[in-house]
Amino acid sequence: MNEIKSQRQIIQVGNSLAITIPANIARKLEVQKGDDIDVSFRNNVQLDAHFFQSLETVIDQFEGILDQIQGDM
């Protein structure tokens, strides 16, 4: 199946949150109101400088062990 990407905004519908499907994509997917669909979600997490500093600290701390493990391979 080909991937169709579209950035959408989350909206409030009653007490729920919803994401709309643009009409042109709904036509392309041949979906209509009431149809069941499978949805995948991905959180676009951005890694910041603090993450990389922490990673560097861990690598420095375990450098000898990592070298030993790599040598065993």
Domain assignment of residue 63, yes or no: yes
More confident residue, 65 or 72: 65
Report residue 1's pLDDT band, with 50, 70 and 90 as the boundaries. Answer: low
Range of 21's domain?
10-35+46-70
Q: Is the pLDDT of residue 73 over 70?
A: no
- How many separate domains does the chain show? 1
> Residue 28, SS3?
helix
Token representation of residue 45? 């997490």
User: What's the pLDDT band for 15 if we cut at 50, 70, 90?
Assistant: very high
CA distance 38 to 57: 41
5 within some domain? no
Residue 60 in domain: yes
* CA–CA dist 20, 56 (Å, integer): 41
Q: Per the domain annotation, does 23 fall within a domain?
A: yes
